[in-house]
Structure 1
Amino acid sequence: MNRLTKYLLLVLIASFALIVTQSCREDDDIFQVVVIDSQEELERLILGQSSRLEGPIILSGAITSLEVFENVEKIIGDFVIVDTQLTSLDGLENLILVTGDITITSNPPFQQKIKDFCALQTLINGGSFKSITITNNQHNPTVADIQQGNCAF
């Protein structure tokens, strides 16, 4: 490597380091994607937490119950449920805020057996959320369906 190339590389690294240190202050929140793929991991991470979780939170795999969410009122970030073993969303009844998108889906279609979305009624009827996408489940109600109580198959 010639001298000019080394100098430019050093300037580039120093500039990057300066940008990183200036953008990450002590009072900044650090967000990370939380991917949970087993019931044991879900219970370990959620049980005993406050009423607020920071995400995005992605549930996938061998998740069989959301009862550990019974005290959760707020999810800061996206909330994704994909390819789980859930049949209902029981446990989400107290959820009143999701600041990101909510996605409940399965790939391949209909692998996920969720038939009951009634636990989302509190959130949909009086809470706040960015968007909800429900596809490829045993039952795929719209927001209007859930509002009107047509939330279970």
Structure 2
Amino acid sequence: MQSTVIPQPDPMNPIVVPEFERLSFAQVFLDASRLNQGVMLVLMVMGVAAVVLWALGFGRSLSAQPSRSVAGLRYLKGMWVGALLLGLFGASFTLVSGFMGLANVRPTPAMAVLAPGYAEAMFQVMLGLAASTLAVICHQDLDARLRRLAA
């Protein structure tokens, strides 16, 4: 009986995967569960909505309807807090479900198997931070413009 020797990768000379095998943001989204895809879509919509509310409020603050801009400020303030919390919830859900799955598998999978799940969790945090940051910037700018008009 002849034994085969499996070559071990050299940690000093890592091999970069070919271009067609590399992980992208689109693949992270498409490989996510439906719940996580929903969270990601909501976060993307929140980011776009923050800019739209800012643009609408900016136009109203210059016209005769600044009171409607104040309502937009409330929505932006809600997005400011909500987007970050939603992104963290999605990441937490992904990590907990991944760790539960990891606890039920023997032998422990390699990092290359686990990395897409970590990328999914961090993608949700990134989307939450991006949507929250857009809401903060739009809120602060619109609030400053309204204060200047009121003065």
Whether the TM-score (by the shorter chain) exceeds 0.5 is no
Q: TM-score of the superposition, structure 2-length normalised?
A: 0.27
Higher strand share: 1
Higher relative contact order (CA 8 A, sep 6+): 2
In terms of Rg, which structure is larger? 2
Q: TM-score of the superposition, structure 1-length normalised?
A: 0.27
